[in-house]
Amino acid sequence: MRLLIKLLLILCVSAFSKCEPTVLIIGTGPAGIAAATKLLENSITNITILEAENRIGGRINSVKFGKKFVDVGAEYCHGQKNNIVYELVKDLDVLEPISEVFQPALYYSNGSRLDEAFTEELQAVILGYDSSNFNFNATGISIGELFIKKYNATIIQKYSGDTQKIKILNEALRLAEKVSLMIDGAFSWLDTSTVKHYERSEGHQLLVWKGRGYRTILQVLTKEFPNPEEKLPIDDKIHLNKQVSKIIWSDSEVIVYTLDNTTYAADHVIVTPSVGVLKAHKDTLFSPALPKAKLDAIEAIGIAGVMKIILNFENEWWTKDDVIFTFLWNDEDLHNAAKEFPYAPIKNGISWVSAITIMAKVPGNPGVLVTWVTGEFVPDIEKTPESVLKDGCVYILKKFLGQDYDIRAPNRILKSSWRSNPHFRGTYSYERVGFEKPGVRYQLDLAEPLTNANGKPVVLFAGEASNPIHYSTVHGAIESGFREAERIINLYQNS
């Protein structure tokens, strides 16, 4: 009888083992962590997570700086309705608007603050560049081309006869491009399509994390927060410093190789690295090679970079009512900047400091400002010594704000390097001009799994770039991770 019971137990364990698949997840960004936690919560525990960096989080990177955490990567929760990030944390008191009163101060490079009424109108046009007011969605034309056309036909025409304002309005096109690049993440607004499938979540678009950092969402996903005792058993499944070099998939299993010559076998692999990484390795990473539709999707989805320079000041020189400073260059100052601040990088006689678009207070973190840098200078600025970046920021502050504030130098500086980091190769995805095709959704093609001869998905794809309506966001990444985990869960629950 005892022998029979033992045999039955062995058979049960064996049957269970066959029913529970082995899953390998590549990447510990929000998509990878979301996929892993969803699997664990549904009793699929035989998972391994490989991370090329020496930390988890992907393009979420919250760092203690000043008195609180700052986000070197993803920072804002964009909207509330139909936003999985907001839904997960809405009852935890961890989010708040960046400011109850959002009034950016627009400064001209001669040191003057522009007229408030004029500024409000100009900012409404620039900050709302992607709204329905401009009737975007014109196939084969870039956002830059369409914006300039409509801008000239509306705003500039309104001020015809006012020579000074027309001059400023023409100069403000550079600022308009910088703002559009902050939103889209491209290096030029001539590369971004007016055809956008992104769907904005209703509600406040700039919700911040009360000094906790965006890492909070990872803690919520793993159930480390709010109660650490409920944390899912995920830590021992994560292997850091494991860069994948080859994914070989077949009818029976998937074999994954890493640069340190480690080999992993699994029934399913969920690939979550950025589309920038896929662009760099699409021809060598997968065997057999990726199908044409997926290669086309990787080509059509853009990724470039937005950079942050975060500054810590021993004493605040700004006022409690200041929220955001925006910088508008006049033509003369723009071309003189390379002489006044002759430190590289410089392109075609224009200094890198002109790429600084905005400086803003970091809410709840006294003495800390964050600077956004956009455009073609980003790759070079990422590699520029911090001492030069620090001096460049001080130059900008004194030039634009020196008449109204007693500018002091920061005592610490922190910078991002998403574009130059080979494990990311950019910040977030966008839709490229010239690739629009009727009935084709490249994010859906990117998300399509690779299947074996039996139609079983063996290589699955997640990440913000694979989300057809919420690409470029953390909530889009999390949705994609849940999507691929559920694909595996449903496969075994229905078998």
Query: Does residue 127 belong to any structural domain of this protein?
Result: yes
Same domain, 110 and 76: no
Same domain, 170 and 316: yes
Percent of the chain with pLDDT over 90: 80
Query: Does residue 276 belong to any structural domain of this protein?
Result: yes
Q: What are the tens digits of pLDDT across the range 244-275?
A: 999 999 988 999 999 999 999 999 999 999 99
Query: Please, are residues 369 and 311 in contact by the beta-carbon 8 Å criterion?
Result: yes
Range of the domain at 344: 103-200+307-415
Same domain, 189 and 281: no
Same domain, 272 and 317: no
Query: Does residue 485 belong to any structural domain of this protein?
Result: yes
Confidence check: pLDDT of 11 > 80: no
Which CATH number belongs to the domain containing residue 274 in this structure? 3.50.50.60
Same domain, 290 and 311: no
More confident residue, 430 or 98: 430
Predicted pLDDT of residue 17: 42
Predicted pLDDT of residue 222: 98
Query: Does residue 121 belong to any structural domain of this protein?
Result: yes
**What average pLDDT does this structure show over 308-323?**
95
Same domain, 311 and 297: no
Same domain, 406 and 312: yes
Residue ending a domain, choose from 358, 382, 415: 415
Q: What are the tens digits of pLDDT across the range 361-394?
A: 998 899 999 999 999 999 999 999 999 999 999 9
Percent of the chain with pLDDT over 70: 93
Predicted pLDDT of residue 19: 64
Q: Which residue in 403, 485, 444 sits closest to 221, CA to CA?
A: 485
Six token digits for residue 362? 């970091």
Same domain, 107 and 81: no
Same domain, 487 and 343: no
Same domain, 145 and 66: no
Query: Does residue 206 belong to any structural domain of this protein?
Result: no
Same domain, 387 and 319: yes
Query: Does residue 11 belong to any structural domain of this protein?
Result: no
Query: Does residue 5 belong to any structural domain of this protein?
Result: no
Residue ending a domain, choose from 415, 432, 457: 415
Same domain, 117 and 196: yes
Predicted pLDDT of residue 101: 56
Which CATH number belongs to the domain containing residue 348 in this structure? 3.90.660.10
Confidence check: pLDDT of 195 > 60: yes
Overall number of domains in the chain: 2
Query: Does residue 211 belong to any structural domain of this protein?
Result: no
